[in-house]
Amino acid sequence: MSSSDFREPTNAELWAQPPSPAPAPPLPGHGLAPLPAAQPPVPAPHAALPAPQARPDRTVFVLAIVSTALGIPLTAIAAGTAGVAGLIVAWIGIVLVNTVYAWSRRRS
């Protein structure tokens, strides 16, 4: 048996064809038109999409990482040039920035 023994299916056999646009005439005797053929429901465009998830707020984490990353070189520069007083001023500034940010987030 070879592949030439099998015929290719036609498009009508492969794909469902749309119903005819003309309705069927009413049946004699009862005066009512037949019910139209049932159409499969068309899904809404958003029906298959999942609901959007709320993304967690990571700004506090990012601020902590940035504060630590800036705190290391600022500590070295401030302590090297101004001693303990410079070290205290640098860390008071870092703590103040974090405190103001946390306070502003609680108010909103």
* Tens digit of each residue's pLDDT (9 = 90 or more) over 81-107: 999 999 999 999 999 999 999 888 887
Element (H, E) at 64: helix 59-107
Question: CA–CA separation, 28 vs 31, rounded Å?
Answer: 7
Residue identified by tokens 């070879």 is 2
Q: How confident is the model at residue 71 (pLDDT cuts 50, 70, 90)?
A: very high
Residue identified by tokens 């103040």 is 96
* Tens digit of each residue's pLDDT (9 = 90 or more) over 18-65: 766 776 666 666 656 666 677 777 666 665 666 778 888 889 889 999
Q: Is the pLDDT of residue 4 over 60?
A: yes
Q: Which residues contact 90 (CB under 8 A, 6 or more apart)?
A: 71, 74, 75, 77, 78
